[in-house]
Amino acid sequence: MMPISPAQSWAIILVVAATTAAIRFLPFWVFHSSTPRVILYLGKVLPGAVMAMLVVYCLKDLDPLAADHGLPQILGVAMVALLHKWKHNTLLSIAGGTVFYMMLIQTLFAG
Amino acid sequence: MRKKTVRYAFRASLPVMAGYLVLGMGFGVLLQGQGYGWWWAAAMSLLIYAGSMQYLAVDLLAGGAGLITAALMTLVVNFRHLFYGVTMLEPYRGMGKAKPYVIFALTDETFSLVCQPDLPQGVDRKEYYFWLSLMNQSYWILGSVAGTLLGSALGEYTRGIEFSMTALFVVIFLGQWEGTRDHRPALIGLGVSVLFLLLLGPDGFLIPSMGGITLALLALKRFPVRKEGE
């Protein structure tokens, strides 16, 4: 079962698609000669800040008072960080951390 | 000449192929988990074609997000692409009919390959840009469709696969942290969003965080990093 209607789904998908395309096309439309310095500045500093925000977003439902104390997520993130430090291989870190997390919640923390 | 160019583009695209097939599959499994069939994955990978944002879009769909939230989130998450466009203004000049497509398909990975191409003799630069962009998107579409099929085959065993989104962002975050000396933007992002999360709770903190982060970064612009020998 889809969580929302197909029409609502299309609306969200098209908004995300149009916004993404607009960002990609904008420089070619308006910045022919020079790019405003504030835009260049934001382009440099936003990615790091936004990625931090997205990590927080992913962990937003983590509840230290829940039955599992949020341990599966905390351990999963630790595993991702360890794998990253070890091999610096993006796919290995993502796959390894995810499988580790899945094993945790399907076995140790099941139910 | 075209044959040589296509072959060269294909070889250059191989590392992206591995990444896009796997990450695309992760996205497909997630989307399928919300009850969307393979054609939805194909449509999203065809129309949106932005990795991180498609993972987040699954969340937006699952929560029935408002359109303004969707637009703002896309804006801050994909803002970095503006930078790619600025870099590619010159190289993409004179691309002709393929120009709209190569601009549309300028993802992180494609950018990393087209920003400094070291092309051998006999490889046409513009054709190379086009074929590389097209191949990369094909991998992404293929991976995401395969993911939905994999997801429906695995059923219950995919429980917890949503953690792949967390893992993806943690890895990108760590990579960015290691790649920059000035950690203030990352700390601002972390601090502001944790603050709003504690103040407003998990359902309402995102938009205020995006605003707060942007304002804090603009304020930070007044305090440039001192250039000095370390």
Domain spans, chain B: 2-160, 180-230
Q: Which of B53, B89, B220 sits opposite A20 (nearest CB)?
A: B53
For residue B230, name the pLDDT band (cuts at 50, 70, 90): very low
Nearest CA in chain A to B68: A15
Q: What percent of chain B has pLDDT over 90?
A: 69
What does each C-alpha distance from A19 to A51, A70, B69, B183, B217 come to in angstroms?
Answer: 18, 34, 12, 28, 22
Q: Which of B35, B160, B190 sits opposite A56 (nearest CB)?
A: B190
Shortest CA gap B146–chain A (Å): 16
Cβ burial of A110 (10 Å; 0-12, 13-18, 19+) is exposed
Contact: A49, B186; criterion CB under 8 Å: yes
Partner A contacted by B142 (CB < 8 A) = no
The token duo for B216 is 């804090």
For chain A, the straight-line distance linking the first and the last C-alpha, in angstroms and rounded, comes to: 23
Q: Which of B160, B185, B214 sits opposite A48 (nearest CB)?
A: B185
> What pLDDT shows up at residue A30?
87
Contact: A42, B79; criterion CB under 8 Å: yes
Q: Which residue has the higher pLDDT, A48 or A76?
A: A76
For residue B145, name the pLDDT band (cuts at 50, 70, 90): very high
Nearest CA in chain B to A57: B206
Contact: B40, A105; criterion CB under 8 Å: no
Contact: A9, B172; criterion CB under 8 Å: no
For residue B10, name the pLDDT band (cuts at 50, 70, 90): very high
| ipTM over 0.90 threshold | yes
- The chain-wide mean pLDDT, for chain B, equals 92
d(CA B15, CA B107): 14
3-state percent helix, strand, coil for chain A, nearest multiple of 5: 75, 0, 25
